[in-house]
């Protein structure tokens, strides 16, 4: 074994395996956590508000896929170009695609790119994207997921040339509570805490924790209300989350929708209309229309009420990268 992998110690080389053929598999997912749960032995990365993307290169072929396995290479052709330009011809990386506005990630801006599947239209959209790469899964035909995170990140930094639109995701060491407070003061979404000695596993794990600055998560859209006055499209989306096989009602969101989105989203909702409510409890709203629970909305809010409803919710965008069946209420220890 030569090159970067040849520098590994004997114990670390014993953790290497032959890389799998085909797709990269499911990504490792973080669990919702609290700032008291992280002590020594953790590293902290900025939590990004974007779309999770796995990138693979096998010779001349580059593939980008979402966490659900959807192909994205036609949506982000400039990222394909950047991966094709790397000196290394065989790798799998994990990262987050974001759009930036004023130095902050802007999910609403990214939405303008997420629906495009024509490379020429994507390049002409006027929405520049950045691929923050934070992990290395394979290198030169070797599966490195069994190595500690700190070693994988070192290999990633040395194997790649990070030029726009690719960026290496840095990490910091220190007190998690202090670092989170500093991140929140900068207006960040929060931090991802990761055990420095953890292996990469293709599932959700408590070795990665989400530490958020403010409340917010995904919700399933189970219906909508009629618009009032001069408003177009609809009044509000009716939101829920799964508890086992039951869809629990979490409230409604009526803010955060530009006029054009109200109209386009209403057309999508009309195609999902059903007669009966998908929620397991009664929803006391006027002018309701029920839909098949397939759409997933990203929603920010201040807190949960004692009755289990969202306080001051605001719509941030639709998520195409997360199946509705996976949406649960996020508590410490859940996704």
pLDDT of residue 334: 65
pLDDT of residue 207: 95
Q: Return the minimum-mean-pLDDT range out of 38-42, 244-248, 250-254, 268-272.
A: 38-42
pLDDT greater than 80 at residue 327 = yes
Instruction: Select from 217, 234, 215 the least CA-distant residue to 225.
Output: 234
Query: For residue range 140-167, what is the model confidence (pLDDT) as tens digits?
Result: 999 999 999 999 999 999 999 999 999 9
In 17-120, which ranges are E strands? 17-18, 29-32, 42-46, 51-58, 61-66, 90-98, 100-101, 104-105
**Confidence category of residue 335, pLDDT binned at 50, 70, 90:** low
Structure token digits, residue 151 = 């070693």
**Confidence category of residue 213, pLDDT binned at 50, 70, 90:** confident
Whether the CB-CB separation of 82 and 91 falls below 8 Å is answered with no
Q: Which of 47, 194, 212, 252 is catalytic?
A: 47
Q: For the whole model, what pTM was predicted?
A: 0.78
Domains and CATH numbers, the chain: 3-212 (3.30.470.30), 216-326 (2.40.50.140)
The mean predicted confidence, pLDDT, of the chain is 91
pLDDT of residue 279: 97
pLDDT of residue 90: 93
The three-state (H, E, C) secondary structure of 301-333, written as one string: CCEECCCCCEECCEEEEECCCCCHHHCECCCCC
| Residue 252 bears catalytic tag | no
> Averaged over 60-70, what is the pLDDT?
92
């Amino acid at each position: 074994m030569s090159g970067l992998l040849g520098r590994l110690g004997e114990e670390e080389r014993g953790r290497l395996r032959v890389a799998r053929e085909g797709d990269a598999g499911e990504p490792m997912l973080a669990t919702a956590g609290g700032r008291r749960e992280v002590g020594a032995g953790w590293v902290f990365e900025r939590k990004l508000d974007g779309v999770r993307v796995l990138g693979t290169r096998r010779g001349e072929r580059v593939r980008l896929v979402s966490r659900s396995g959807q192909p994205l290479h036609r949506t982000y052709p400039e990222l394909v170009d950047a991966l094709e330009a790397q000196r290394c011809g065989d790798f799998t990386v994990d990262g987050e695609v974001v759009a930036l506005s004023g130095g902050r990630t802007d999910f609403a801006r990214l939405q303008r790119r997420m629906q495009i599947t024509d490379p020429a239209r994507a390049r002409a959209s006027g929405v520049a994207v950045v691929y923050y790469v934070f992990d290395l899964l394979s290198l030169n035909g070797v599966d490195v997921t069994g190595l500690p995170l700190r070693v994988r990140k070192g290999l990633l930094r040395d194997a790649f040339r990070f030029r726009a639109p690719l960026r290496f995701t840095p990490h910091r060491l220190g007190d998690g509570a202090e670092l989170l407070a500093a991140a929140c003061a900068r207006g960040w979404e929060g931090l991802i805490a990761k055990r420095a000695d953890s292996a990469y596993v293709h599932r959700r794990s408590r070795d990665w924790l989400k530490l958020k600055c403010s409340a917010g998560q995904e919700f399933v859209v189970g219906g909508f209300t009629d618009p009032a006055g001069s408003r177009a499209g609809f009044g509000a989306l009716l939101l829920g989350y799964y508890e086992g096989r039951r869809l629990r009602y979490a409230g409604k969101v009526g803010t955060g929708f530009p006029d054009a989105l109200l109209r386009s989203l209403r057309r999508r909702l009309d195609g999902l209309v059903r007669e009966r409510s998908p929620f397991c409890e009664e929803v006391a709203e006027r002018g309701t229309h029920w839909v098949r629970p397939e759409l997933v909305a990203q929603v920010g809010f201040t807190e949960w009420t004692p009755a289990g409803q969202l306080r001051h919710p605001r719509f941030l965008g639709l998520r195409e990268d997360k199946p509705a069946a996976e949406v649960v209420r996020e508590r410490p220890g859940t996704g």
